Chains A and B, each alone.
Chain A
């Protein structure tokens, strides 16, 4: 599936929720259930320090696709990471570079991607894009 198709799916899924509480409960479940990164990659090199929460991101190139793993010390941040990974992981670097994150607004989680939140997510998306740009030059 393309990034756009996955994002549309996520927007569809979230449209079933009636209010913010259901959306948050879903995110919290995502945040609790997923082991998102191998502990060996939870290193200082991979850390993004927000004022609020910490985020770890690691990227691997498998065939011609980029696979992301990430984690956070805050559950809601981790839930959003799970959604971002679902959308951006296992995709070609070129497609990741071209994709946007507008779907996060549509699912009512915009405030968590505000640069002023300082929770590490904005930097994480930037990091995902930077990995994609770096690997794009490798893939050619």
Chain B
């Protein structure tokens, strides 16, 4: 069982006050907080071995390169990728998705079909729309039901020999729904389509095994898993990464350059043009180390307890409605109270020291589906407590009494 009191001591930010009140940080789906162990790694990098990687003969460069490549291997092992070079360092999930969307431009032709789910983040909708505009491909959508679950029978009907790509998140950022990605991947492979799973929201809660899932691509952001912003990875099966053209041209991604022709470097460097976020990559590895030391099973069990407690306590508030009540969900609660606008609730909660996200959560199609302007979203992490849930519930009650 998790020792939350001990864990909280690792996070310096959790000691601070906001608006004169102790911070209750419930915006973990937007970004997770950073433990001292990861902060130390970042400080150590800039204090002791900051250097550009892969091209220096000097000791610092060698050290930085080693640590960066060790981080890649850590990430490979965590997600059980078959090869370390199937792990491409990126600036985060959005960058990862764009590498794939851009790469498929040359593999997709007019009339081909691309399928996305109805509960995607804008970052997993817009690149595909742009891809469709460039290629003349058609975008299809897997619908969802009112509980916030994908309607798989409709998905199976959408699949055909025209289907080339499927994009779906592992966990919905707005609703917390855990999608049945194994079934989605297997069905896609039967018609020869490739599947990209956006793992940004799943990574903090679920240890995904990309080989067992048989995912063609899987994307992760470091800042959701106790790492820094501006770092992340794209996992891609070797055969797919070899088929895709490079995304950006520049240093690091070439084998040989003449003015007549450039040959590209091997994986993973082909997709890693320019000086990468070296410290970010190393710190991402440190974030995973930190979470693995606690244990993902323990994290999932504890967060589930928090989710159940918070759901029960919140639902006791008159007029409060939760959006997204899938049977399988992570510790995310999206809600509204009566007709009160989420911005109003969020503003009062902020004054009471409670950090939540309000708005459409970059998932406007979901809000349109429910015909609401947005929601208040409380998202929990393994360092949150039941006492913090109580503060949230009291704050929502206070906001309700002021706004109604």
- Find out whether the CB atom of B344 lies under 8 angstroms from the CB atom of A75: yes
- Find out whether the CB atom of A76 lies under 8 angstroms from the CB atom of B344: yes
A76 to B346, CA, bound (A): 10
Nearest neighbor of A119 in chain B, beta-carbon distance:
B343
Q: Bin chain B's interface residue count.
A: 10 to 19
A111 to B343, CA, bound (A): 13
- Find out whether the CB atom of A74 lies under 8 angstroms from the CB atom of B402: no
CB distance from A57 to the nearest CB of B (A): 17
- Find out whether the CB atom of A20 lies under 8 angstroms from the CB atom of B344: no
Q: Mark B367-378, 1 if CB is under 8 A from A, else 0.
A: 000000110000
Known A20-B351, A24-B351; judge A53-B402 contact (CB<8 A): no
Q: Mark A28-40, 1 if CB is under 8 A from B, else 0.
A: 1000000000000
Q: Is B19 an interface residue (CB 8 A)?
A: yes
The B interface, classified by DSSP as helix, strand, loop or mixed, is helix
The residue from B19, B343, B350, B360 contacting A74, defined by CB atoms under 8 A apart: B343
- Find out whether the CB atom of B359 lies under 8 angstroms from the CB atom of A28: no
- Find out whether the CB atom of A118 lies under 8 angstroms from the CB atom of B359: yes
Q: Mark A17-55, 1 if CB is under 8 A from B, else 0.
A: 000110011001000000000000000000000011110
Q: Which of A24, A74, A75 has the most CB of B within 10 A?
A: A74
Q: Give the chain A neighbours of B358 by CB distance below 8 A.
A: 52
Q: Give the chain B neighbours of A75 by CB distance below 8 A.
A: 340-341, 344, 403
CB distance from B389 to the nearest CB of A (A): 23
A25 to B374, CA, bound (A): 23
Nearest neighbor of B361 in chain A, beta-carbon distance:
A51
Q: Give the chain A neighbours of B360 by CB distance below 8 A.
A: 51
Q: Is A112 an interface residue (CB 8 A)?
A: yes
Q: Is A73 an interface residue (CB 8 A)?
A: yes
Q: Is B348 an interface residue (CB 8 A)?
A: yes
- List B residues 338-368 near A (Cβ within 8 Å): 340-344, 346-348, 350-351, 358-360
A119 to B350, CA, bound (A): 15
- Find out whether the CB atom of B402 lies under 8 angstroms from the CB atom of A25: yes
- Find out whether the CB atom of A112 lies under 8 angstroms from the CB atom of B19: no
Q: Is A90 an interface residue (CB 8 A)?
A: no
Q: Give the chain B neighbours of A24 by CB distance below 8 A.
A: 347-348, 351, 402
- Find out whether the CB atom of B343 lies under 8 angstroms from the CB atom of A28: no
Known A24-B351, A112-B347, A119-B343; judge A52-B402 contact (CB<8 A): no
Q: Give the chain A neighbours of B341 by CB distance below 8 A.
A: 53, 73-75, 77
Q: Give the chain B neighbours of A28 by CB distance below 8 A.
A: 344, 402-403
The residue from B347, B348, B359, B402 contacting A51, defined by CB atoms under 8 A apart: B359
What is the total number of residues of chain A having a CB less than 8 Å from a CB of chain B?
Answer: 18
- List A residues 47-71 near B (Cβ within 8 Å): 51-54
Q: Give the chain B neighbours of A54 by CB distance below 8 A.
A: 373
A13 to B144, CA, bound (A): 50
A52 to B374, CA, bound (A): 8
Q: Give the chain A neighbours of B340 by CB distance below 8 A.
A: 75
Q: Give the chain A neighbours of B19 by CB distance below 8 A.
A: 20
- Find out whether the CB atom of A52 lies under 8 angstroms from the CB atom of B403: no
Nearest neighbor of A20 in chain B, beta-carbon distance:
B351
Nearest neighbor of B373 in chain A, beta-carbon distance:
A73
A52 to B341, CA, bound (A): 9
A76 to B403, CA, bound (A): 9
Q: Give the chain B neighbours of A111 by CB distance below 8 A.
A: 350
The residue from A21, A25, A73, A76 contacting B347, defined by CB atoms under 8 A apart: A76
Q: Give the chain A neighbours of B342 by CB distance below 8 A.
A: 52, 74
- Find out whether the CB atom of B343 lies under 8 angstroms from the CB atom of A53: yes
The residue from A25, A53, A76 contacting B373, defined by CB atoms under 8 A apart: A53
The residue from A21, A25, A52 contacting B343, defined by CB atoms under 8 A apart: A52
Q: Mark A100-140, 1 if CB is under 8 A from B, else 0.
A: 00000000000110000011000000000000000000000
- Find out whether the CB atom of A52 lies under 8 angstroms from the CB atom of B351: no
Q: Give the chain A neighbours of B346 by CB distance below 8 A.
A: 52
Q: Give the chain B neighbours of A112 by CB distance below 8 A.
A: 347
A115 to B346, CA, bound (A): 16
CB distance from A85 to the nearest CB of B (A): 19
Q: Give the chain B neighbours of A74 by CB distance below 8 A.
A: 341-344
A76 to B351, CA, bound (A): 13
Nearest neighbor of B350 in chain A, beta-carbon distance:
A111
CB distance from A61 to the nearest CB of B (A): 31
- Taking beta carbons and an 8 Å cutoff, which residues of B are in contact with A? 19, 340-344, 346-348, 350-351, 358-360, 373-374, 402-403
What 8 A-B pairs come out closest when comparing CB atoms? Answer: A74-B341, A74-B343, A52-B343, A53-B343, A52-B359, A51-B359, A76-B344, A75-B344
Known: A51-B359, A52-B342, A75-B403. 5 other contacts (CB 8 A): A28-B344, A52-B346, A52-B374, A76-B344, A111-B350
| CB pairs A–B below 8 angstroms (12 shown) | A25-B402, A52-B343, A52-B346, A52-B374, A73-B373, A74-B342, A75-B344, A77-B341, A77-B344, A111-B350, A112-B347, A118-B359
